């Protein structure tokens, strides 16, 4: 009996630990089963958040970076455009005081001319007054754009041509502000010259209707004297009583001859005064003309 109770006691002692171990395993098994869904959901959530592109990258693409080879294009500012337009307006505008307003005008009227003639027929061969004459001639004054020859342009506000009488008549007067040589490539001395050389004879100043012009170079050295006073010569020097040659002899006007007075778009009232390069002629001229 005692041995039998000892066997049951040892069996109970082994069974209790075994039961405790079974309960513990069951508990651990249940805990592992409850953790799997949570872990699976967590893994799926991370996978979803990393499987697609970021929202910010899809909504606003990155700005393009300009190429280093591209040159920036200058865009004029409104201020620059206004300055350009103002400059163009000033260039195009022609005021009433602009000399270009006289280009193309022709004045016609009458010139009253007084001429003193000198010779060298004094008792000692000195220069003396041989005679005087006063007369009138129909006259014209033409103004045009400054003349151009080769690469040069006349440095005057306009080109001027004045003619009193027919050039072939005795007493005729002519003023040329400029001309272009196109007839010969050599002067009288045989020196070469540009056949298209611009020759400027007069220095002209015009402002607010006032003309102030002066003959600065008669160009007698180039044998192209165009500013002339045509005057008859005696048949025999110092013998004026023997008559004069028909027509006239062109005397080149000397530097210092002036042409001044009132000149506007409607009329001209001008006075000329000067002499010839040979010292034999001195003259005074008054021209009144109307523009047409």
- pLDDT tens for 154-205 read 999 999 999 999 988 889 999 999 999 876 777 778 888 777 889 999 999 9
C-alpha angle with apex 83: 81 to 86, nearest 5 degrees?
110
- pLDDT tens for 230-273 read 998 888 888 877 888 877 889 999 999 999 999 999 999 999 99
Burial (Cβ within 10 Å: 0-12, 13-18, ≥19) of residue 257: buried
Beta strands (DSSP E) in the chain are 106-119, 128-144, 148-149, 152-153, 159-164, 173-176, 178-180, 198-200, 202-207, 210-215, 228-231, 249-252, 258-263, 267-275, 281-291
Closest to 198 in 3D by CA, of 248, 147, 135, 246? 147
- pLDDT tens for 15-71 read 455 454 554 444 444 444 444 434 333 333 333 433 444 444 344 444 444 444 444
Closest to 216 in 3D by CA, of 198, 229, 204? 204
């Amino acid at each position: 009996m005692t041995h039998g109770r000892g066997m049951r006691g040892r069996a109970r002692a082994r069974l209790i630990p075994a039961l405790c171990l079974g309960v513990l395993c069951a508990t651990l098994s249940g805990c592992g089963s409850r953790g799997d869904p949570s872990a699976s959901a967590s893994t799926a959530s991370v996978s979803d958040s990393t499987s697609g592109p970021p929202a910010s990258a899809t909504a606003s693409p990155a700005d393009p970076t300009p190429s280093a080879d591209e040159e920036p294009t200058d865009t004029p500012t409104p201020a620059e455009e206004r300055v350009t337009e103002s400059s163009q307006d000033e260039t195009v505008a022609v005021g009433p005081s602009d000399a270009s307003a006289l280009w193309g005008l022709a004045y016609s009227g009458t010139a009253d001319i007084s001429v003193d003639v000198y010779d060298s027929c004094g008792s000692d061969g000195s220069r003396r007054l041989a005679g005087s004459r006063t007369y009138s001639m129909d006259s014209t004054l033409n103004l045009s754009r400054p003349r151009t020859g080769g690469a040069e342009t006349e440095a005057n506000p306009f080109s001027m041509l004045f003619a009193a009488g027919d050039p072939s008549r005795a007493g005729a007067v002519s003023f040329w502000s400029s001309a272009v040589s196109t007839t010969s490539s050599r002067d009288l001395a045989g020196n070469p010259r540009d056949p298209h050389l611009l020759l400027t004879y007069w220095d002209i100043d015009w402002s607010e209707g006032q003309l102030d012009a002066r003959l600065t170079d008669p160009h007698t050295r180039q044998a192209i004297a165009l500013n002339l006073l045509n005057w008859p010569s005696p048949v025999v020097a110092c013998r004026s009583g023997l008559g004069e040659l028909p027509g006239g002899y062109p005397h080149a006007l000397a530097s210092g001859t002036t042409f001044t007075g009132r000149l506007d778009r409607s009329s001209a009232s001008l006075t000329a005064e000067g002499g010839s390069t040979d010292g034999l002629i001195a003259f005074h001229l008054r021209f009144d003309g109307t523009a047409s």
